[in-house]
Amino acid sequence: MMATPTEETLPVPPGQQYVPAPQYAPGPQPGPAPAYGPPPAYGPPMNGPARVIVPDPNVTPLPANPLLGTPTDPFSPMFTDPAVDMDVVLSENQTGRLMLGVAVNSDAGLVGQILLDEQNFDWQRYPTSWDDFVSGRAWRGGGQHFRLEAAPGTQVQRYLASFTQPYVFDTDYSLGLSGSYFTRVIATG
C-alpha cells in the first residue's frame, strides 16, 4: 500500500526551503451583512498548509539566463532581453544572366533564343571603360529589373523588352514598361 505524500516527504526544490505558513486572523465576510445578528467571522481556513515553500536565504541563486528566464521561475518570459549580438556575413549573389539557345520544332521551324535578364539594373550607370563590363559594374546596382528577349526563327519570331522601377521618385509606387513583337510566317501552298 502506498502512503500519501506529506509536506515532510515531498522534495524541496533547489534553493528553496519550507517555512511555517502565516496564520491569518478571521475577518468579516465579504458581501452584504446577514439580516439577523452580527456578521459572522470569515477568514482563510485555519487547517491550511502548515508550511510553504520560500527562497532559501542561505543559498545563492543561479544567475538568470536572458534566453531561458530565471531557473527557479518556470513562468518567466522566455526572452527577457531581446538584444542579441550577431555577426552577419553577406555576399551579393549573381543578379544577371545571359542565356543562348537553339531549338527545332515541327510547328515553329528553327528558332534561336537570346535572353538577357538583370535583377539589379541601373539605367544611369553607364560604362566608363572596358573594365566596367568585365567587372560587372556597368548598368548594375540600382535595384531595377531589365529583361531583353529575342527569339528569331524561320517561321516564328518573338521579341520582348521590359523594365521595372520598384520605387519611382523614392515613393512606394513602382513603374513597369514592356513591349513585345510577335510574328508567324504562314506557309501557303
Question: What is the average pLDDT value for the chain, to the nearest integer?
Answer: 74
Cα(161)–Cα(178) distance, rounded to whole angstroms? 6
Sign of CA dihedral 91, 95, 96, 102: positive
What is the pTM (predicted TM-score) of this model? 0.49
> Which among 58, 52, 49 has a CA at the least distance from the CA of 12?
52
What is the percent of the chain with per-residue pLDDT over 90, rounded to a whole number? 28
Question: Each residue of 18-61: pLDDT tens digit?
Answer: 666 555 545 554 555 555 555 554 444 455 555 556 666 676 66
In the block, which residue shows the cell 522534495?
11
The β-bridge partners of 144 are 121
Tens-digit pLDDT profile for residues 125-148 = 888 888 887 887 888 888 899 999
pLDDT in tens, 87-105: 888 887 788 899 999 999 8
